[in-house]
Amino acid sequence: MEDGNFLTDDFLRQLINVGEVDILVGLPTHNNAKNVGSIVHTIRDGLLRSFPRERAVIINADGGSRDGTPELITSVSIDDVRPDSTVYALRTLHAISTEYASTPHSGIALRTILAAAELLRAKACIVMSPESGSITPEWVSSLLRPAYYDGFDLVCPTYRRHKFDGLLMTNLLYPMVRALYGVRIRESYMPEFGFSGRLGSQFLGQNRWNDGTGDNGIELRLTLAAVTGGFRICQSFLGEKNPVERRAADLVPTLRQTAGVLFSALESDFQAWSGVSGSQDVPTTGSDLELVLDPLRVNRKRLWEMFVSGVSELESVFQSILSPSTLAELKRIAGLGEEDFRYPTELWVRTVYEFAAAHRKSVINRDHIIQALAPLFRGRVFTFVVENRKGSANDVANNIEALCLEFERLKPYLVEMWKSKE
């Protein structure tokens, strides 16, 4: 068992009172009082509707909220101390909270949730995002059922998203994970997901928590651990996913938690991914891709400008990361006007692979490598938006599929670069 010393005595006492459970719902939070009340009520409704007989607990790992978030969560407990005639439940439902002694961080929060799941011997768990504005009670069921009843170890969500929502997923993570690891998981860096107690325990014991590197992009690490560990993975369609407002400044941290984590994982997972060719679907309940086509204003000009200035300002950095031919091609397209600018699929895939190889070789500080990817990704987003602006759902899906196939086709290029060091 993972060393549980990072759990507070008070939290341990609460866990003792909860005792063994069948189902655990983890809710990492930090100042989420605005939404978390309705989210946690929805979670409770989902549990009461779909798992009325199971022993369940809602565990809040809070990063030091000062807005009353933990109190909102613990208030949904159902017990005999404060009987609530408006809610009928067969058994007690605990909602408990703990504040971890660190800055708000999803990695530490998830570690707390995983440790609780192991201590309580939870059979199936879900982690829900405190920002899931579109959550419904059915989400709880959709994420839990495959793990609780059908023996799956990881349940990844799929959503109905706007075609321009989640572009990091569609343009980098999904195609790259698919090409390298051979599994078609749409959302490998997922805001909400389900997992078995078995996977949770394994991951808790293996992940590199203590050196701090294991805290970043924890959701993606869990996905990759499930893939390389031979765990059973499935996808479950949840429905509409409202986009979360992000600022432009959020891109680099997000890249660290996605591309950075993926590039790092490629090192330790080389044996697992290098021999894989092609890719396989994973069992999916419902649709694996539903796109909303409503008109959406995207500031393309800003994307193009950031790409152009990035290529110009970071040329010396790119010289360390990219091959001369790729860099030359980037410089060429950076010279095109906005109307003519396109970031071709093959060039994007080569760019990403060369970044991954450079990351492995640590040609420069790894974090600088990830930061340098940001303007290029914006160029790719510009292109994706332009190419799919008038596209139907099928057109967009076909374009994504074409990108994936390109990642798969060029995989030997990455393997070759990887081996070249050796």
Partner 1 sequence: MNNALHLDCLLRRFCSEVRSCQEIWSVARRKRLNSNKDALWYKDAIIYQLHVRAFHDSNGDGVGDFLGLEQKLDYLQELGISAIWLMPFFPSPLRDDGYDIADYNSVNPSYGTLEHFRKVLDSAHQRGIRIIIEMVLNHTSDQHPWFQEARSSQNNPRRDWYVWSDTDTRYKHTRIIFLDTEKSNWAWDPTSKSFYWHRFFSHQPDLNYDNPEVREQMWNVMKVWLEMGVDGFRLDAVPYLVEREDTNCENLPETHNILKELRRKLDQYFPGRMLLAEANQWPADLRPYFGDSDEFHMAFHFPLMPRMFMGLKLEDRKPITEILQQTPEIPPSCQWSLFLRNHDELTLEMVTDIERDYMYDMYAQDKTMRLNLGIRRRLAPLLNNDRRRIELMNVILMSLPGTPIIYYGDEIGMGDNISLGDRNGVRTPMQWSGGWNAGFSNAEPEKLYAPIIHDPVYGYPAVNVTSQRESEHSLFHWMQRVIAVRKSSAVFGRGSIEFLYPANHRILAYLRRLDNETVLIVNNLSSAAQAVELDLRRYKGNVLIEMFGNNLFPRLGDLPYLLTLGPYQSYWFRLRRV
Map tokens 């990704």 to a residue.
377
- Give whichever of 92 and 213 is closer to partner 1, judged by the CB atom: 92
CA–CA distance, 414 with 419 (Å, rounded to integer): 9
Question: Is residue 151 a contact point for partner 1 (CB under 8 A)?
Answer: no
Question: Is residue 87 a contact point for partner 1 (CB under 8 A)?
Answer: no
CB 140 within 8 A of CB 26: no
Four-CA torsion 382, 388, 390, 393, nearest 10 degrees: -150
Among 92, 213, 254, 326, binds partner 1 (CB under 8 A): 92
* C-alpha pair distances (Å), 366 with each of 154, 222, 300, 419: 29, 22, 29, 19
CB 108 within 8 A of CB 203: no
Binding segment for partner 1 among 14-22, 141-149, 204-212, 304-312 (CB under 8 A)?
14-22
Question: Is residue 350 a contact point for partner 1 (CB under 8 A)?
Answer: no
Buried b (16+ CB within 10 A) or exposed e, 211-249: eeebbbbbbbbbbbbbbeeebbbbbbbbbebeeeeeeee
In the complex, what is the shortest distance from the CB of residue 390 to partner 1, in angstroms, rounded to a whole number? 51
Question: Is residue 83 a contact point for partner 1 (CB under 8 A)?
Answer: yes
Question: Is residue 94 a contact point for partner 1 (CB under 8 A)?
Answer: yes
Binding segment for partner 1 among 87-95, 98-106, 135-143, 414-422 (CB under 8 A)?
87-95
Binding segment for partner 1 among 83-91, 147-155, 186-194, 390-398 (CB under 8 A)?
83-91
Structure tokens that stand for 292 in this block: 């909303």
- Give whichever of 15 and 352 is closer to partner 1, judged by the CB atom: 15
Among 3, 10, 17, 328, binds partner 1 (CB under 8 A): 17
- Give whichever of 14 and 141 is closer to partner 1, judged by the CB atom: 14
Map tokens 């549990």 to a residue.
47
In the complex, what is the shortest distance from the CB of residue 88 to partner 1, in angstroms, rounded to a whole number? 7
Buried b (16+ CB within 10 A) or exposed e, 273-303: beebeebeebebbeebbbbbeeeeeeebeeb
- Give whichever of 17 and 38 is closer to partner 1, judged by the CB atom: 17
In the complex, what is the shortest distance from the CB of residue 204 to partner 1, in angstroms, rounded to a whole number? 22
First to last CA, the chain: 36
Question: Is residue 246 a contact point for partner 1 (CB under 8 A)?
Answer: no
350 beta partners: none
- Give whichever of 123 and 360 is closer to partner 1, judged by the CB atom: 123
- Sign (positive or negative) of CA dihedral 388, 257, 184, 114: negative
Could you say which residues in the range 19-38 bind partner 1, by CB under 8 A?
19-20
Question: Is residue 55 a contact point for partner 1 (CB under 8 A)?
Answer: yes
In the complex, what is the shortest distance from the CB of residue 92 to partner 1, in angstroms, rounded to a whole number? 4
- Interface positions with partner 1 (CB under 8 A): 13-14, 16-17, 19-20, 52-53, 55, 79-81, 83, 88-92, 94
